Chains A and B, each alone.
Chain A
Amino acid sequence: MATHLVSVLNGLAMGSLLFAIALGLSLVFGMMDVLNLAHGAVYLVGAYVAVALVSDGAGVAPFVLAVLAAAVAGAVLGGLLASLTRATPHHLDQALLTLGVALVVGEGLSLVFGNDVHSIAAPEPVAGGVTVLGETYPVYRLLVIGFGAVLAVAVYVLVERSPLGSLIRATVADRAMVAALGVNTGRVLVGVFAAGAALAAVGGVLAGPILGAQPGLDEKVLLLALVVVVIGGLGSVRGALLGAVLIGQVQALGTALLPEYASFLVFAAMALVLLLRPAGLLPARSGVHA
Chain B
Amino acid sequence: MNDRARNIKVMNRFDLTCRLVARLTQEEAVIGGIGNTNFDLWAAGQRPQNFYMLGSMGLACPIALGVALAQPQRRVFALEGDGSLLMQLGCLATIATLAPKNLAIIVMDNGIYQITGSQPTPARQADIVAIATGCGMANCHWAADEEDFERLVDLALAATGPVLIAARIDDKPGVGATRRDPAQIRERFMQGLGVRQPIGWTSPEGTVLPDGH
A binds B: no
Which residues of A approach B to under 8 Å, CB–CB?
A: none
